[in-house]
Amino acid sequence: MARALSEAGYRVRALVRESASTNGRRNVELERSSRLDDIETVPGDLLRAGDLARALDGCRYLIHCAALYSFAPRDRAQMQRVNVAGTASLLDAAHTAGVERAVVTSSSATVGPARDGRPAREADRAEDGHHSAYHHSKILQERAALAARVPTVVLLPTTPIGPGDRRPTPTGRLVLDFARGRVFARPPGAGGLNLVAVEDVAHAHVLALTRGAPRERYLIGGENLTFDQLWQALSEATGRPAPRWIIPYGLAVTLGYLDEMRCRVTAAAPAIPLEGLRMSQHLMHVESGKAIAELGYRQSPARDALARAVAWYRGRGDVS
C-alpha cells in the first residue's frame, strides 16, 4: 500500500508498530522492506491510538489497514482492543488532527456468505455471533468506522493473496503449508472463497481516497473459487498434487476441539482452527461491481497472484 501511494504521487507518513522485544528497539520492518526513500515513519501503537493525533498533524488523508488477525485463543480479547477500540480511537485522533477523509480496511466477512444463489453484495449484512473472533471484531470495527466524526470510506477486501506476507497471515500460512507438502487432506464442506491480488487491494485504497463516498462500503474482490478450484490452483502454482482425501466433518470438528484445548494450555496458534472449519461450509463469494463502477477498481487474475506468492516465498528460501 505504501508503494502504491508513493507511485500515485502521495507523500506517505507510515505508522510503525512499536516492538514488544526486550531490547526496547522499535520494529523497523517497514523501513527495511518497502525500499522507498520517501516514506516517513513514526512509532506508535493502536492500543494507545489517542497518542497519534500529533503524528497525524499535517496529514490530509488517513488509511487505516492495521489489524490483529489470528485464530489463536490467546488473541481473542486483544483483537477487540486493537481492531475495535483502536480503530475508534485512531479515527477520533484523525478528527482532532483535521484529517479530511479516512479509508478503513474492513473485511468481506461483514457481508456474510453468498445467499440465494448469488454472491454477497454491500447491502448484505453478516449475522452477528456466527463468526470467528477476528471476523466479529471486524463487524464491530466497521460500525465504529461508519460512526466516526471524520468522513470515512470502508473497504471490504476478500482474501488477499500475493507477495510480501511475512508473518504470515492464516492465508499465507495455507500457501506455505501447501507448498511444503503439509496439506494432506481437504477440509469438509462444499464451500469456497474469493481470492484477490494484494496489489489490487492496495490500489483500491488509493482510489478510495478521492473517489470513495463517505459512509459507503465497497467490496474489493477478485475471483470466486470453490475449495476444489482453490486446491487445483495451489497445485498449479506449487507443482504439488492436490490432496485427495476429504476429512469427514465430524472428525475434523473433534480434532479442532482437541487442538483448541491444546492451544489454551500452550498459548499456541491452532493447526486446525474451528473457525476455519465452520467457514469451510459456506461459499464466501462476492461481487465487486460497486467498486468497479464508483472507484474505477480493476481486478487481476487470482491464479497469477497465487503464483507470485509462491515465487516470493521461494525467493526467501521458505519453500524449496
Mean pLDDT of 48-67: 94
Instruction: Check if the beta carbon of residue 188 is closer than 8 Å to that of residue 254.
Output: no
Task: Kindly list the structural domains of the chain, giving each domain's residue range(s) and its CATH number in brackets, ordered by start.
Answer: 45-316 (3.40.50.720)
The DSSP bridge partners found for residue 161 are 197
Instruction: Check if the beta carbon of residue 206 is closer than 8 Å to that of residue 5.
Output: yes
Which is nearest to 98 in space by CA: 57, 52, 46?
Answer: 57
pLDDT at 239: 94
Mind listing the pLDDT tens digit for each residue in 151-193? 999 999 999 999 999 888 888 988 999 999 988 888 776 789 9
d(Cα 230, Cα 315) in Å, to the nearest integer? Answer: 23
d(Cα 270, Cα 272) in Å, to the nearest integer? Answer: 5
**Residue 52 burial (C-beta neighbours within 10 Å; 0-12, 13-18, 19+):** buried
pTM for the structure as a whole: 0.89
**Which residues, in sequence order, are CB contacts of 258 under 8 Å at separation 6+?**
none
Rg for the chain (alpha carbons), in Å?
Answer: 19
Q: Residue 149: phi, psi to the nearest 5?
A: -75, -25
pLDDT higher than 80, residue 22 = no
Query: Does residue 41 sit in helix, strand or coil?
Result: strand
pLDDT at 31: 43
CA distances from 247 to 183, 187, 274 (A): 11, 6, 14
Q: Pull the grid cell for residue 268.
A: 499456541
The DSSP bridge partners found for residue 39 are 12
Sole residue written with cell 472463497: 193
pLDDT band at residue 312 using 50, 70 and 90 as cut-offs? very high
Mind listing the pLDDT tens digit for each residue in 131-144? 578 888 999 999 99
Burial 113-134 (b: 16+ CB within 10 A, else e): bbeeeebbbbebebeeeebbbb
Amino acid identity, position 261: M
d(Cα 109, Cα 282) in Å, to the nearest integer? Answer: 11
CA distances from 61 to 102, 180, 205 (A): 6, 41, 11
Sole residue written with cell 448484505: 124
